Chain A
Amino acid sequence: MKHSFQRAGLIAALSLFGGGLLLSWFTHGTGTVKDDPKRGISIPQQLTVPLQVQAAYNDKDIFFRYRWPAAKPGIFHDVVVYEGGKWVRKGKGNPGPEKDGMHEDRVAMMLDDGSVPEFARYGGYLAIGSGIASFTQHANGKEVAAQPHLGKKLKQEEVTKSLPETRTDLNDWSSVQPESTLQAQRQAGYFLDLWHWRGHRSNPIGMSDDQVIAEARLGDEGKSSATGNWDGKTNQPQWMFNPAKTGYKALRWDDIQSNKIDQESVYFLREGDVVPFDPQADWKDGDTLPRRLLRTPEGSMSDIAVQGKGRWADGYWDVTLTRKLDTGHPLDDKILKDRGAYALAFAIHRMATGARWHYVSLPVSLGLERPGDIVATKFATEQPTWGDKWTQVELFYPGQVSWPHLNSRQHAGAPNIKKGQPVTTHHSVEQLKHYGIEAEFAEEIRRQWWLTLWAGVLMILAFGVAFHQLVKRQPGA
């Protein structure tokens, strides 16, 4: 072979091989991860969001202050809009941001006093059981409704957050423990207290939803701060604004869409301030009514209030919630004590998202005048004076990672969970924000990875063939 041919062949082979390597480098990770509404998949562009938290308490009450970024305030949940003679619901919810921009902003905080020891190690992952709603693989609504405890007794329509020991089989959402066991678990404190501030369904009346996670995500005993404003028989709202008080009987859809609704205005329906819906009123296209009626909560559900006003300004929500240290409801709430140590985990919803399309935190420790990730300082007055010292908590999009998956053979860390090693021993937010997404495309990514591996091996060997033939044969070799 002539030297020039050999040189040209080597350059050609090198160009092809180098081109293949560069192409692989610049196209890797593309083509597979994409929104897929049919499978309930919507990946946020931003995978992490910072949350700032402060805590303080006095002899009676504890206060948590939360601050997080949001491009605009989500102060509406779902509404009904008058269109062509009919009331049309907007804000029903869908994977990712709601298509009409409806769905309230939220901040949630799970709290435990050590009665659920795994919570301090794994946070909210613990509460993601099999069949949970909004996962690609989720329990059928009819089956949930037919389940004797969840469906028939608790009137659940979907599988919500729950704790693993409330099931006899981790991999079977319907294997609920007998009621006597559930009651004993509750008495023993095997539940998570859930503080759940809602931008529309609680904040306008200065309250927070108060919930509990046990065999399901349930409301505390009592009456909630919101109920429906819809009559399914007549297909129209039940209540409307009182024009005598507000000057209008409905909002305008255009004003909502263009963010012209002032947070200080009356944009919500509140029991006592509304009048029965008048179907004969001169309704015009675009007239809009909230699909929820706010009311004063009662019982254990009324334990958590907003201190001052929860308001959005300059791109940030600033919300402070307060509750008695001892609410007197030990079966719904974690009773807090001076110098106590607790575990927390946070979540926010923003950008008109609901269900699992939120940002969550890893578990965070709370100390009441004792060491912790968040230290609640004690003060002697009625209300705290907040300084500038915040605890920074990084929230991340969790994807579809369930507790059964984490305890399965598919998770290399399952033995570590059995040993009781905390999630932070082997994982960081930096990792988990990606792992959640990879879990949503597990099979597709596995396939592409496998093909990529062999394509790479093939190309290396093929280059070897070319290189081998292009090298001048050694005499006698």
Chain B
Amino acid sequence: MAPYHVVLVHFPIALWMTATLVILFRTLSDGPTAKLFDRALVPLLSLGLLSGIIAFSVGLMVWPWETISASALGRNHVLTASWTIAYWAVILWVRQARGESVWDGLSRWVKAGLASLGCGLLGITGTLGGHLVGIYTDVSTALRQLGWDVYTTFYVPDSTLIVLLLISALLVGIGVWAGRQKAAS
């Protein structure tokens, strides 16, 4: 399945990178061209997510789970790919559900930040995929200088996991609170 995975990943990469440019452009501009591009955002993000999920699923079939989950590079590739999909799913969801309101006030910068993070993760995921098939880039060197050697599995200790769970609960709590505020107003 490796050749199919390699072919398929081109689609989400292209779509999400294009979406990133659109989001950044729309963040910086309220002009008619930016708004025109923004109208293509939901289709772009939808196709990106769909092709991303397909590429991810096919990728999981390249090696048996026993194999990919035993390799540091394999684990990292799966982890960053999962997070990439989650990021872009959130970006799509909010844009789809909230329409042009996402470009109001602080929200547009949050949207730009999410897209940048999603794009960065996409790049790291692709880099790790390259490493898995023996094609190396300097992205891994940059990550090492930032504190992560990609030849070691990315994982956090239990204490951090607990904090992440608490943060997740608080974020959901903020969402519930905001929903009630909206309902009351």
Q: Which residues of A contact B (CB under 8 A)?
A: 1-3, 5-7, 9-14, 16-17, 19-20, 23-32, 409-412, 425-426, 430-431, 434-435, 438, 442, 445-446, 448-453, 455-474, 477
Contact = CB atoms under 8 A, between A and B. Distances in A.
Max chain A C-beta neighbours (<10 A), residue from B99, B100, B153: B153
Interface in B131-183: 132, 134, 147-149, 151-161, 163-165, 167-172, 174-179, 181-182
A459 B148 contact: no
Interface stretch (B12-20, B29-37, B49-57, B82-90): B82-90
Contacts of B110: 10, 14, 467
8 contacts: A1-B185, A5-B178, A17-B167, A23-B156, A31-B159, A448-B156, A459-B167, A471-B107
Contacts of A25: 147-148
Given A453-B78, A459-B164, A467-B110, A477 B182 contact: no
A469 B175 contact: yes
B101 A462 contact: no
A470 B83 contact: no
B106 A10 contact: yes
B159 A409 contact: no
Nearest to A7: B106
A3 B67 CA distance: 51
A1 B155 contact: no
B139 to A, nearest CB: 15
Q: Please give me the 5 A-B residue pairs with the lowest Cβ-Cβ distance, nearest first.
A: A31-B157, A464-B90, A474-B99, A448-B155, A462-B171
A12 B174 contact: yes
A214 B159 CA distance: 48
Contacts of B151: 430-431, 434-435
Nearest to A439: B70
A468 B99 CA distance: 11
Given A28-B154, A28-B156, A467-B94, 19 more contacts: A2-B181, A10-B110, A12-B174, A16-B171, A23-B163, A24-B156, A412-B67, A434-B152, A449-B79, A451-B161, A452-B79, A452-B161, A455-B164, A461-B86, A461-B90, A471-B94, A471-B98, A472-B98, A477-B99
Contacts of A17: 167, 171
Given A3-B105, A471-B94, A472-B104, A465 B175 contact: yes
> Which of A12, A456, A457, A458 has the most C-beta atoms of chain B within 10 angstroms of its own C-beta?
A456
Contacts of B82: 453, 456-457
A16 B170 CA distance: 8
A465 B167 CA distance: 12
Nearest to B118: A460
Contact of A1 (B86, B132, B181): B181
A19 B165 CA distance: 12
A32 B154 CA distance: 12
A2 B105 CA distance: 13
A448 B69 CA distance: 12
A226 B150 CA distance: 45
B53 to A, nearest CB: 13
Contacts of B178: 1, 5-6, 9, 466, 469-470
Interface in B39-94: 63-64, 66-72, 74-75, 78-79, 82-83, 86-87, 89-90, 93-94
A473 B185 CA distance: 12
Contacts of A448: 153, 155-158
Contacts of A29: 148, 152-155
B137 to A, nearest CB: 14
Contacts of B169: 462
Contacts of B185: 1-2
A30 B161 CA distance: 12
A31 B90 CA distance: 31
Given A409-B64, A467-B94, A477-B97, A20 B157 contact: no
A23 B156 CA distance: 9
Given A455-B161, A466-B178, A410 B67 contact: yes
A279 to B, nearest CB: 55
Contacts of A469: 174-176, 178-179, 182
Contact of B87 (A32, A450, A460): A460
Nearest to A442: B70
A373 to B, nearest CB: 21
A446 B75 contact: yes
B70 A410 contact: yes
Nearest to A456: B83
Contacts of B165: 455, 458
Nearest to A26: B147
Given A3-B105, A434-B72, A409 B67 contact: yes
B181 A449 contact: no
Contacts of B104: 471-472
Contacts of A6: 105-106, 178
A449 B154 contact: yes
A431 B164 CA distance: 29
A16 B97 contact: no
A27 B160 contact: yes
Contacts of A26: 147
A474 B101 CA distance: 5
Contacts of B6: none
A102 B99 CA distance: 72
B90 A412 contact: no
Interface string B105-129: 1110010011000000000000000
